[in-house]
Chains A and B, each alone.
Chain A
Amino acid sequence: MLSQFRGRSTDPKPLSIGVLGVGNIGMVHLKSALAMPDVEVLAAADAVPENRDRAERAGVDRTYDDYAALLATEEIDAAIVALPPFLHAEAVERAAEYGIDVFVEKPLARSTEEADRMLETAQREGIAVGVDHTLRYQPDMVGVKSAYEEGGVGHVPYASITRLNDGPLGRPPAETAPPSWPLDPNAVGGGSLLELGVHCFDVLEWLFGELEVRDATMGRTLEIPVEDAATVLLRAPETGTTITLHCGSYQWEELPEVNTRLRLEGITGTITNQDHLPENFYADAARAALENVASRVGGERTVFGPTFYLRAHYDALADFCEAIRANEEPPVSGPDGRRSLALAETAYDLAAETAEEELEVPEVGP
């Protein structure tokens, strides 16, 4: 399969990139790419004029209001697909027509069916597909994995992961119009489970190997069209670990605080991601700042230095670019993204079965 990728390992030119969609996460990718050595951002596309203006202010020479026009016009090696999920498949298929590799924001697609079509096209046209699953790039998750693999707590019969934020509706005061597509099941394919849960599935399989979904329940704290809370019971057969996953878009978030909790309960103790986070965000930010300022006179620079969760996006994109240059499969590949989707779909199915059972009215005699 790798032989299908166009070889660039001997190409001295920088990797040329186009960014499709420069909303919030698209801008993170754009800024990452702009700061990346041996990467050249040629253009960005977004239907929203304000987003194009923002991209131009960030340093992009050319912007398009239609991503298809960018793909047709620009000579790029890779495209970052940071469009809403309902456009992912179309954008990947269009990129494939031009032989452009793609780094796709999660969820890869709205369904495994859509992902399959996308990946078949990619394989047929010989393009690489990477997916932006970033939890595994966060230093706290790397710390957990390292401690687990060192056997620090022995066997881990139980683990739990929680990821919460405030979703598209945000928190008070209400200042800007919330986008409607994240709450549209046709546009995204689901709610919190596809927005946040897929990240958790990815990091859990990275830690424990293949997962099996045993049960699930979905919840809505408001009368919205998609779930804003999901709880999934999982089993990792390889490690004999039972796992609970809870994700939701109902909790107010005030950055830099990010509510991601991972706990591995082992025989001799607990491994938690909290032990691998900076004790004090401000002190860590100050340290990163000093290091980066010092690096201006020589040394290695980090991008988004003080914010580990944005740095994870940078690292994920950097790894993708490196794989493309080396003509290798991206470290978080299309099939990885599809795998997270498949787990989410199983969870939805099991939750629907449970909900149906709960609705059944038992027959009661007079």
Chain B
Amino acid sequence: MSAVRLAAVEDDGRPGGWRPNVDARTARLESAVGAVLEPRRERLADADRVTIVPDAHYPFHPSTGVVTDPAVVGAVAAWLDRELETGLAVVGRSDDRIAFDRTTSYLGYDRLADRFDAALVDLADVPTRNEYRAAEGRSVALSVPEPLLESTVIVVPSLRPTEEGTAAGAVRTLGRLVTSGADSTRTAVAATRAIDPELAVLDGVVAYGDDPVATNVVLSGNGPAVDAVATSLLGRDVDADGALSPLLSDAERPVAVENSDEVDLSAIRERLAGGRLPPADDTHPAVSSAYRLYAAASGDAVPPQLEGQ
């Protein structure tokens, strides 16, 4: 059985709602984040350099829960800086939608990097190493950015569903940072095995189900175990998740949650269960289909937003 440690974010007696000041949010999170990092103090103390991997796939507003709140990363960085004086890097990867430096700039990571003397590293621009790991009984060839192999990695995923409907999680956050010819599920499995992160710290301060929810928890543990809890909180079946099943051995199941009495996990699960990201189209798919049908029948123009979908 593996265990995940939970810490509730303390109610500081101030009015609820989102606080735009990242330093204020970071300060509020430091106690909870410190509580979930403390059990790994010794192992983290051995690290020359810690690489933090947030879910920073796109500059969506962190109050929505669809990206990691930079304040959670800030609280992790603050603890590592204060307690261990470890060298820090925050990493992500440019893709064909947006450059990593643009995402980090918009999300406010520049200031955070200055504060903790952390490097912001675009993994699209660093040397990679070829690695081969098994996934679904076959070997997967990966090109893995060297910082993920040569430093101690802490993944800080968000608590949200992916477009495909799985939990975003640590495993898939890592999978997005490597390149491979395999499908995304096998890539995520192989990437997790190759990178072997020291720890996952789940940002469950604001989660996204069908909408944002202030769930006010952080959880830490091994990546797949944390993802199993996130999957459960999102109302999904761990066994149905092709990436998690092979990464969680029978001996590691079920995943226990330490300090689970700090919050009402059932209430969180009930609130988030079955939630999905908004539909991919600008317009609801049913509207798009109906409009195209209408346009074909009437000869009216089709709005550009509804073309080619």
Contact = CB atoms under 8 A, between A and B. Distances in A.
B301 A34 contact: yes
B278 interface: yes
A304 interface: yes
B105 interface: yes
Interface string A255-298: 11000000000000000000000000110010001001101100
A221 B277 CA distance: 21
Nearest to B162: A173
B132 interface: no
A73 interface: no
B89 interface: no
A289 B280 contact: no
A139 interface: no
Interface in A180-211: 180
Contacts of B106: 169, 222-224
A-side binding surface: helix, strand, loop or mixed? loop
24 contacts: A28-B303, A31-B303, A34-B301, A35-B301, A173-B163, A174-B98, A178-B98, A221-B20, A223-B111, A253-B282, A254-B278, A255-B283, A255-B284, A255-B305, A285-B291, A285-B294, A289-B297, A292-B299, A295-B298, A301-B298, A303-B301, A304-B301, A305-B294, A306-B294
B298 A296 contact: yes
A287 to B, nearest CB: 11
B34 interface: no
B294 A289 contact: yes
B58 A174 contact: yes
Contacts of B96: 177
Contacts of B287: 255-256, 281-282
Nearest to A307: B303
Interface in A22-38: 24, 27-28, 31-32, 34-35
Interface in B16-61: 20, 57-61
A310 interface: yes
A174 B280 CA distance: 8
Contacts of A254: 278-279, 282-284
A205 to B, nearest CB: 28
Contact of B304 (A24, A223, A293): A24
| 6 A-B pairs closest in CB distance | A292-B298, A27-B304, A174-B58, A31-B301, A289-B294, A255-B283
